[in-house]
A and B are shown apart, each in its own frame.
Chain A
Amino acid sequence: MIDLKILFDAIVEGKLEPAVEVTKEAIKEKIDPQILISDYMIKAMEEIGQRFEDGKAYVPELLMSARAMKGSLELIKPLLTGKKSATIGKVVIGTVYGDLHEIGKNLVASMLEGCGFEVVNLGTNISADQFVDAVKKEHADILCLSALLTTTMVYMKVVIDKLKEENMRDKVKVMVGGAPLNEAFARKIGADCYCDNANDSVARAREMVAGA
């Protein structure tokens, strides 16, 4: 019988190849995919997330763990087709109109994807209409808005107002982030939450999906 602790360790250590190998073995042994996800993969991401919070791991280590988890998850996904648990939730993410910065937004997208969310990355310079259309089309659970500039962060409110206009506000949670933002700004514009780093975004996204 395969030792699934190897899967946990591989994801924590950010090692794609052993994570994929052990997942293949687990599939051969017909281990319940939901057990792989819940008891090993998500727990491994929680462990690396905790290390990040404790200052024992940094952004590159988070990205490597997310990459290893994504590699395993890709193998498991076909076995989950049609089940609610195929993904943790669906996220639409983008940098708001007028802003072409994408470093932070891409970090968050990679982490969310690695942690089991289905991510639709719209890119940069995205208008309110584009965001709202994507939320509708993708039936997104969460909309993530990013901005690096003090001049463009105010556009986040335009997006949220557009969601209200379209009667979509209660259908999607709105997460905001970016260097000049803070919690008070997020509250002021009517966002559901503010995240100050990629790891935080995963934890908050999980909370929001669980509470939805």
Chain B
Amino acid sequence: MKTNSVDWINNIINQKEVVNFPLMTNSGIELIGKKVIDAVTNGEVHYEAVKILAEKYPSIASSVIMDLTVESESFGAEISFTDNDMPNVIGRLVKDEASIDALQIPDINTGRMPEYIKANKLISENVNKPIFAGCTGPFSFAGRLYGITEFMMGMYINPDEVKKLLDKCTDFIIKYCNALKAAGSNGVVVAEPVAGLLSNDACKEFSSVYVKRIVEEVQDDSFAVFLHNCGNKGQCTEAMVYTGAMGYHFGNEIDMVQALKDCPSDVLVMGNIDPVGILKLDIPDEVYNETMDLLNRTSEYPNFVMSSGCDTPPRIPFENIDKYFQAVIDYNKKL
């Protein structure tokens, strides 16, 4: 659906009720009786999974699968697939400056990219909620191509080489985001979990500078960038905010109230119910209690958006999902 992102965000901030925006797609795949591998390789299955979730649950917007392999696959990385878990990058595609120099920025129609763009287009055309696409953040993306351990040491040993790869990854992400925007998406969640392992200064130099470039290139009134960093324990929130994104999405490692204090009041601040420890493994009553507790703790912040701390995993009990949504409904009734 078409919407003005700035107005949409301002409405959320100005309304009394807390809105709910979990990053949840696996449950939709299960609801339509398909496997993860079907959804990550077929845009129509992906769309059907998102659509059924949009119809079943009162989330404020829809999101797509957080698949951190799509971009790497387009560059030529080897990907492993299993039926019911997310794909994974195997090995290292680049190992030195020569291989980085030789790396060609691929066409946007390479690998599974067209299926993801198709899913976003179908959701945009047929689901009556804003749709937030997804892409891998530059640091997490480059780390997958280079090897995360080696990439983090490369920041010290050969920063120019590392930055050359970050540049190429960023250029490609911008192309991808523009294609997602053209497909009708209302914004994108840039998933940058690995940058959460860095200090604020390193996060800024090796991640935020590049995310800022993406923001400057693709964010406008019709397309919002939300930066997701579930590794941040609070040390690099300032670096995240430096990017100028319209929203920040945090994981369960962070103190959500502190994150709200550290972010501007005119952007959305989303998080952070533990997707595994609480949503998947806890009992329904505890899911309800934890969600209500987070709502109470964040009550002073109108820009808070209830969410999962990351993309929720497969096989979450539906009773738990119901309790998670019910807590937000009950909280809003009391306002």
A residues near B, CB below 8 A? 14, 55, 57-61, 63-64, 67, 98, 100-101, 103, 106-107, 110, 149-151, 179-180, 182
What residue of chain A has the Cβ atom nearest to residue B206's Cβ? A60
User: A58 to chain B: which residues have CB within 8 Å?
Assistant: 197-199, 202, 235
Give A14 to B156 CA distance when docked, in angstroms.
9
The reply on B148 being an interface residue by CB < 8 A is yes
* Pair A151/B85 contact, Cβ less than 8 Å: yes
The reply on B277 being an interface residue by CB < 8 A is yes
- B141-176: CB near A (< 8 Å → 1, else 0) gives 000000111001101100000000000000000000
How far in angstroms is the closest Cβ of chain A from B167? 19
Total contacting residues, chain B, CB less than 8 A? 27
How far in angstroms is the closest Cβ of chain A from B78? 10
How far in angstroms is the closest Cβ of chain A from B281? 7
User: B147 to chain A: which residues have CB within 8 Å?
Assistant: 106
Give A15 to B111 CA distance when docked, in angstroms.
40
User: B88 to chain A: which residues have CB within 8 Å?
Assistant: 100-101
What residue of chain A has the Cβ atom nearest to residue B281's Cβ? A150
Given contacts A60-B152, A150-B313, contact A100 B80 (CB under 8 A): yes
Give A173 to B198 CA distance when docked, in angstroms.
31
The reply on B276 being an interface residue by CB < 8 A is yes
Given contacts A58-B199, A106-B148, contact A64 B153 (CB under 8 A): yes
The reply on B90 being an interface residue by CB < 8 A is yes
B282-335 with Cβ < 8 A to chain A: 313-315
Besides A55-B233, A149-B85, 9 new A-B residue pairs in contact (Cβ under 8 A), listed by A number: A14-B156, A58-B202, A61-B199, A101-B88, A103-B148, A106-B149, A150-B281, A151-B84, A180-B281
The reply on B46 being an interface residue by CB < 8 A is no
The reply on B51 being an interface residue by CB < 8 A is no
How far in angstroms is the closest Cβ of chain A from B203? 9
The reply on B204 being an interface residue by CB < 8 A is no
A-B contact pairs, 11 of them (CB 8 A): A55-B235, A58-B197, A60-B152, A60-B156, A107-B148, A149-B313, A150-B276, A150-B313, A180-B281, A180-B313, A182-B277
User: A179 to chain B: which residues have CB within 8 Å?
Assistant: 276
Give A149 to B202 CA distance when docked, in angstroms.
28
How far in angstroms is the closest Cβ of chain B from A183? 12
Give A110 to B235 CA distance when docked, in angstroms.
24
- B203-240: CB near A (< 8 Å → 1, else 0) gives 00000000000000000000000000000010100000
